[in-house]
Amino acid sequence: MRNVGFFMVGKKLFRQVKDFCCLVFKNNILNNILFTQEEELSANTQKEDLAAKAGIITGAASGIGRATALNLAAAGAGLLLADMALEPLQELAAEIKEAGGKEPVTLKVDVSDQGQVRDMVLKAKESFGSVDFMVNSAGILRRTGFTEIPAEEWDLMLAVNLTGVFYCCQEAAKVMVEQKSGSIVNVSSLAGRSTSILGGAHYTTVKHGVVGLSRHAARELGPNGIRVNAFCPGATITPMTETSAQKEERDRASAATPLRRWAKPEEQASVIAFLVSDASSFMTGACLDSNGGALMV
């Protein structure tokens, strides 16, 4: 009798547990719990892997480059910050140090000068022992109309926004080939996917060039464990755009964007951090858009 009683209680308990499990699965509660844990895990993993990395950001004194420096520093990455403008770089380095980040190395570099780029990469290698990532954000914008672009302005645009990116990729790749690892992120633009809404034809041309350069470098360097991706931000509020577009023009661009606004530099920096990190470990030769829906291809 006692055994039968135990059997009945056990059977009832089993049925209740079974029903509860079905309910949980039906409502996806367990899935949600599991996914939440996985998301936390992957967020932690990205932060941990960035904390173990060190690399270079060009154009770090301002806008998207600056926001990227703050993002990667917050994740614990070692940084060499490069720009033509040294003073804002030093202020940024002090800000990062004060916030508890690793003290960045700062360097005045003109990316269109191959010798300076070579020294920059050597300095990063000396400082950190490796160059795990290279973010190329340095750039200029010019708005001159098609028939008015002087040859010198065309040459300057190519020298900074395309040849400069090539020099940085090439020098970083030399170190990365030895390491058999590395991630290069080249900041192209929505202009590199279509045409520029703010810049001139030379700006559109070089940004398309950055996409081609990134894809080719990805093909050649992939077998060495090096990833190269182009990042294509849309309209973003930075000193570059604030000084070149009037408010009415910015409002028109917002109205033509499904999200009805411009990006903040931080929103672009987090995509760059993703491309730098191992969270994007199978992505190379990609052209990643972040444009509020302004271009959907």
**Active site amino acids:** 203
Question: Taking CB under 6 A as the rule, does residue 112 contact ligand NAD?
Answer: yes
Query: Phi and psi dihedrals of 257, rounded to 5?
Result: -110, 130
Q: Which residues 232-251 are close enough to bind ligand NAD by CB under 6 A?
A: 233, 235-236, 238-241
Euclidean distance between the first and the last CA atom of the chain, given in angstroms as a whole number: 73
Q: Which of 54, 71, 79, 83 is close enough to bind ligand NAD by CB under 6 A?
A: 83
* Least distance between ligand NAD and beta carbon 182 (Å): 20
Question: Taking CB under 6 A as the rule, does residue 109 contact ligand NAD?
Answer: yes
Q: Which of 46, 50, 55, 58 is close enough to bind ligand NAD by CB under 6 A?
A: 58
Q: Which of 46, 50, 59, 128 is close enough to bind ligand NAD by CB under 6 A?
A: 59
* Least distance between ligand NAD and beta carbon 133 (Å): 16
Alpha-carbon span 273 to 201, nearest angstrom = 29
Q: How does DSSP classify residue 285? A: S
Would you say the C-alpha torsion 214, 172, 77, 187 has a positive or negative sign? Answer: negative
- Burial-class residue 116 by CB neighbours within 10 Å (0-12, 13-18, 19+): middle
* Least distance between ligand NAD and beta carbon 64 (Å): 4
Indicate the SS3 state at residue 283.
coil
* Least distance between ligand NAD and beta carbon 244 (Å): 9
Tally the residues of the chain. Answer: 297
* Least distance between ligand NAD and beta carbon 109 (Å): 6
Question: Taking CB under 6 A as the rule, does residue 257 contact ligand NAD?
Answer: no
Between 49 and 208, CB nearer to ligand NAD: 208
Alpha-carbon span 112 to 131, nearest angstrom = 20
DSSP percent split of the chain into helix, strand, coil, nearest 5:
60, 15, 25
Q: How does DSSP classify residue 162? A: I
Q: Which two tokens stand for residue 184?
A: 């290069």
Q: Which residues 179-208 are close enough to bind ligand NAD by CB under 6 A?
A: 187, 189-190
Q: Which of 110, 132, 171, 289 is close enough to bind ligand NAD by CB under 6 A?
A: 110
Query: Phi and psi dihedrals of 107, rounded to 5?
Result: -150, 135
Question: Taking CB under 6 A as the rule, does residue 139 contact ligand NAD?
Answer: yes
* Residue numbers at the binding site for ligand NAD (CB under 6 A): 58-59, 61-65, 83-85, 109-112, 137-140, 160, 164, 187, 189-190, 233, 235-236, 238-241
